[in-house]
Amino acid sequence: MEFLVLVVLPVVMLMFGVPIFVALVAAGTVGMIVLELGSPNQIHSAMFGNLDSFPLLAVPLFILAGEIMGRGGIARRLVDWVLSIIGGVRGSLALTTIGSAELFGAMSGSSVGCVAAIGRLLMPSLTSNGYSRTFAGSLICSSGCIATIIPPSIPMIIYGVAAQQSVPKLFLAGIVPGLLIGGMVSIYLLYYARKNNIPATEGTSIRRFLTATRTAFWSLLAPVVVLGSIYAGVATPTEAAGVACVYAALVSMFIYREMTVRELITTVLEAGKLVSQILIIVASAGAYSYLITTSGLPNKLVSLITSFNLDLWMLLLVINVILLFVGSILEPPAAILILAPLLVPIVGAAGMDQIHFGIIVTVNLALGMFMPPFGLNIFATHALFGVPMQSLYRGILPFLAIYFAALMLITYVPAITLAPLRLFGMK
């Protein structure tokens, strides 16, 4: 009966197109009644409690910061700056997409926001420079996921809240994995450009670089302000997110003068729509997580998996498969809030570092953002740029393979995530 209520019921509802938040609240309410775990009124407290978190406040603030940066000229100047460094290299526009995603991710942490902001700027240039529309769309679709991995990362914040882990430590641990994935994709892009004889863009020069740097100075200062304030101990991640919003608004309105008060209000309202979609899932996941915890399922799963005597490498492989499957169906916030109560006790019992595990979870769910059939970035790319879904499904396969390879490295070489923590005395 527990399996039917906890697993089958929400899965069947999702398969029939029931909204995620409805399926989670329904499963939580029905489970409390059928399994006789207490009054369904406790569901309300669980939902509110899941939102009543100071670190979680960073999520809507980073989303708003990303929207302002995308519309206020900050993202465009970052793209121009990256291109001023690698211009003249065969494949430089594709490399610029990756570099811009890294920089944009270091300011916003929003994958879909990165697809929209970077894609609008680079899609026309990519297609006019010899890249097919399918390849350009697939590149933008996959590169947006780097913004989920490079800190500040929204999934890392939510994992930190759900697993009661330090968000600054998660941010520091995510830097090398984010750069590693960007580097691996860049190697493939250089090979692709040479193989397909993609023409080189305008060559770079000291004058062009200095001009771009001067123009983009305030844009480049944004990640320094955000991450620097966190690691200098001046601000928490939540406070840094608020600083990012204020900084982006001031730069866009008074320095670059590309955003009016009316446009800022419109941007806030648009960001509010996206935030509401995420937070209603976070709240409803609280109901489902409460049911799972109250039912004792995590302890039962720990006992079951322990009885198999799996080696740690096999356990991690099984967890990766589960995360990839769930990540291809659910958005990262919902996936983390549903799975964290189940998986964190299991890896804890196996003696695994939970900061390292948080990065594994983040990379898996980032990959799920552009993994068929329901990856959110696939739908965003299709809606924004009109690339057919069938073409995207084929075009993203090489990028999926690269992410898979990077995921295996990050999973089985803990030093990739933990070395920066040891270097700064945080481990």
The structural domains of the chain, with segments of one domain joined by +, span 2-423
Task: Tell me how far apart the alpha carbons of residues 98 and 118 are, in angstroms, rounded to a whole number.
Answer: 9
Task: Tell me how far apart the alpha carbons of residues 272 and 269 are, in angstroms, rounded to a whole number.
Answer: 5
Of 185, 186, 175, 222, the closest CA to residue 68 belongs to 222
Task: Tell me how far apart the alpha carbons of residues 290 and 48 are, in angstroms, rounded to a whole number.
Answer: 12
Q: Is the pTM here over 0.75, yes or no?
A: yes
From residue 335, alpha-carbon distances to 32, 126, 338, 341, 343 in Å are: 21, 33, 5, 11, 11
In the numeric block, which tokens belong to residue 355?
Answer: 């900061």
SS3 content of the chain, % helix, strand, coil (to 5): 80, 0, 20
**Residue 36 falls in which region: left (phi positive, over 0), alpha (psi -120 to 50) or beta:** left
Q: Return the pLDDT at 222.
A: 86
3-state secondary structure 207-243: HHHHHHHHHCHHHHHHHHHHHHHHHCCCCCHHHHHHH
Is residue 256 within 8 A of residue 218, CB to CB? The reply is yes
Q: Return the pLDDT at 172.
A: 92
Is residue 143 within 8 A of residue 118, CB to CB? The reply is yes
In the numeric block, which tokens belong to residue 129?
Answer: 């420079």
281, with CB counted inside 10 A (0-12, 13-18, 19+), is buried
Q: Return the pLDDT at 371.
A: 84
Task: Tell me how far apart the alpha carbons of residues 182 and 29 are, in angstroms, rounded to a whole number.
Answer: 43
The string of DSSP codes covering 148-203 is: HHSSS-HHHHHHHHHHT--HHHHHHHHHHHHHHHHHHHHHHHHHHHHHTTPPP-PP
Q: Return the pLDDT at 396.
A: 93
**Residue 88 falls in which region: left (phi positive, over 0), alpha (psi -120 to 50) or beta:** left
Task: Tell me how far apart the alpha carbons of residues 359 and 178 are, in angstroms, rounded to a whole number.
Answer: 10
The single-letter code of the amino acid at 140 is I
Of 332, 320, 240, the closest CA to residue 282 belongs to 332
Task: Tell me how far apart the alpha carbons of residues 186 and 94 are, in angstroms, rounded to a whole number.
Answer: 8
Segments in 72-132 forming alpha helices (H): 74-86, 92-108, 111-128
Q: Which residue is it, tokens 């993202």?
A: 75
Q: Which residue is it, tokens 């953002």?
A: 369
**Residue 164 falls in which region: left (phi positive, over 0), alpha (psi -120 to 50) or beta:** left
Q: Half-sphere exposure of residue 338, counting CA atoms within 13 Å on the CB side?
A: 25
Is residue 328 within 8 A of residue 374, CB to CB? The reply is yes
Is residue 196 within 8 A of residue 105, CB to CB? The reply is no
Task: Tell me how far apart the alpha carbons of residues 387 and 383 are, in angstroms, rounded to a whole number.
Answer: 8
Q: Return the pLDDT at 50.
A: 74
From residue 26, alpha-carbon distances to 17, 30, 249, 360 in Å are: 14, 6, 40, 30
Is residue 371 within 8 A of residue 392, CB to CB? The reply is no
Q: Return the pLDDT at 427.
A: 67
Backbone angles phi, psi at 388, to 5 degrees: -60, 145
In the numeric block, which tokens belong to residue 348?
Answer: 């804890």
Cβ density class 159-198: b for 16+ within 10 Å, e for less: bbbbbebbbbbbbbbbbbbbebbbebbbebbbebbeeeeb
The pLDDT profile of the chain, 427 residues, written as one tens digit per residue, is: 777 877 788 878 877 878 878 888 888 888 888 887 777 778 888 888 878 777 677 778 887 888 888 888 888 898 889 888 887 788 888 998 998 888 877 776 677 778 877 887 788 888 888 899 999 999 999 998 888 898 888 889 889 988 889 989 999 999 999 999 999 999 999 999 999 988 877 777 888 899 999 999 999 898 888 888 887 878 887 888 889 899 999 999 999 999 999 999 999 998 888 788 778 877 887 788 788 778 877 667 667 777 777 888 998 998 898 888 778 767 788 788 878 888 888 888 888 899 999 999 999 999 988 887 667 788 778 877 888 888 888 999 999 999 999 999 999 999 999 999 998 877 6
